[in-house]
Structure 1
Amino acid sequence: MLGAAGIAHFALAAALLMSTMPAAHAAKKAQAKSHDESAATQSQAASGPLPANAVARVNDVLITQDQLEEALRASNVPDTPTSRAGVKNQLIARELFRQAALKAHYDTRPQVIAIVEQAKALAMTQAYLRDQVKPAPVTDADVKAKYDAVVATLGQNEYKSSVIAVKDADTANKVLAELKKGTDFAQLAKQYSQGPNAAQGGALNWISFKTPITAGNTQNWPQPLAEALVKLPQGAVSSTPVQVGDAFWIVRVDQERPTQIPPFDQSKDMLRKQLEQVAVEKATAEVVIDLVKNAHIQQ
């Protein structure tokens, strides 16, 4: 028999299942439970001692020690007698919910069937891509070449800046007028900016440019904005809005210093991950291209 604590865990498990499980996760659970219908291999008489590998029996279905260990790892909580009891009660609750739903024929409901089919399609697709996508290996030489290429784009100085980006010149001029009155830049960024990191007051990471600035060597910054930035002394704000496309930018140099180039050993792991991601994307694109060539697609 389970006491009040066990019942509380059941209620918690129900609430978690209803309120926090995203659709994709729910689909995976539904698919996993569909396999559990074959639990005749687990099924035991509803009475008598538990087998050595079981921690509970819910009607005629066993909850195994392996299931408990897996659920405990997934819960990411400290392994204590209390947490083990809590996770076990949640597993019992979930099995009770599953059995009740099955008894009420929820497995035949269209929305449940659709979720199971979505989970099956997702699992098949992921397995197919794992087998078919063969990214080129990233070598140590590739990583060093990437490091050298990045270093070659850096200038003598680097800048810590903040920006405010708005959609029209009138708003930009209004912001500049407020700045001249002494209004805090970060406050105005939070109020008006539609640019990056507006919620953080428009503050950006350190950036360095080779000067004179040339097209394609601006670290993904808009060239007019990069040109405005390097002309400003530390603490200064652009005196006029910088137009980039349909947006008007105001930039401030928060700090300026000689460029700090991290040693290769500190950068190589991050660069390797970036190169590996690019290799995966390239290999995936190649698979897509081959599939498109052999497909009839009407739009």
Structure 2
Amino acid sequence: FDGGALMHLVTRLGSEIIAAAAIPFLVLMAAAVAGNMIQHRFLWSTEPLRPALSKISPASGLKRLFSRQALVNFAKGLAKLALVGGIMAALLWPERGRLDALVDTDPAGTIGLTRALSLSTLGVVVAVLTVIAALDYLWQYRQWYERQKMSLRELKEEFKQTEGDPTIKAKIRQLRQTRARKRMMAQVPKASVVITNPTHFAVALQYERGMNAPVCLAKGADAIALRIRAVAEEARVPIVENPPLARALHATVELDQEIPPEHYKAVAEVISYVMRLSGAVRW
């Protein structure tokens, strides 16, 4: 070949290879961008763009340069480079005879063979790098997930140290509620009347002459209401079924407190009824 023909051949060959490789290259770039966006959950942050002295500090730069993660990334880059080189050597070595014969081949044949070998090699390299990228993504995601789990455990440990163990606190709260319920049940036999719903709510009231108003000794709903009723029956405390009044008292009156004035009339009627039945023995 003369100089002009050789330059024309190289230019044509380069143009055809670039044109043929453009689509796979664009697909690879799109896949890389999409993978990065998926890995970071489509988060957009301006934090990396903010100026900071630590970004230009030589000490910080050396620390990042020789950090464990930087060394790992460097090793992975070398491994990928070696793998790509090995793949290209493995694919082109069997074709060395045909490559040697390019010296005596016409330009069209040279272009065709070079393009075919370039595209086949590029296709294999892209496929292998895609698999490596997928595996690397899975590995990075696993590391991120493990860091998140460790952060959650550290947060729980810190909470235990500052606020106390939630399990122990829940157990203590349960014990306190149990003791308070036992003390409340011990007051039921002292009640003058128990007003019920009949099974959903129960309020035990005590009234004696000289008191300003009846006092709530015990109250509860569902299972606790049934227990109050059972204790009242054992102690022979009068039980009156008045669903509206039982619901209202349960919602408004507190333990060891007098009933609100708005319930004076209704409770007075119940007390009068009980007094008539018992002959005022308890009053």
Structure number having the greater helix percentage = 2
Same fold flag (TM > 0.5):
no
TM-score (norm 2): 0.22
Structure exhibiting the larger radius of gyration computed from Cα positions: 2
Larger RCO (alpha carbons 8 Å, 6+ apart): 1
Structure number having the greater strand percentage = 1
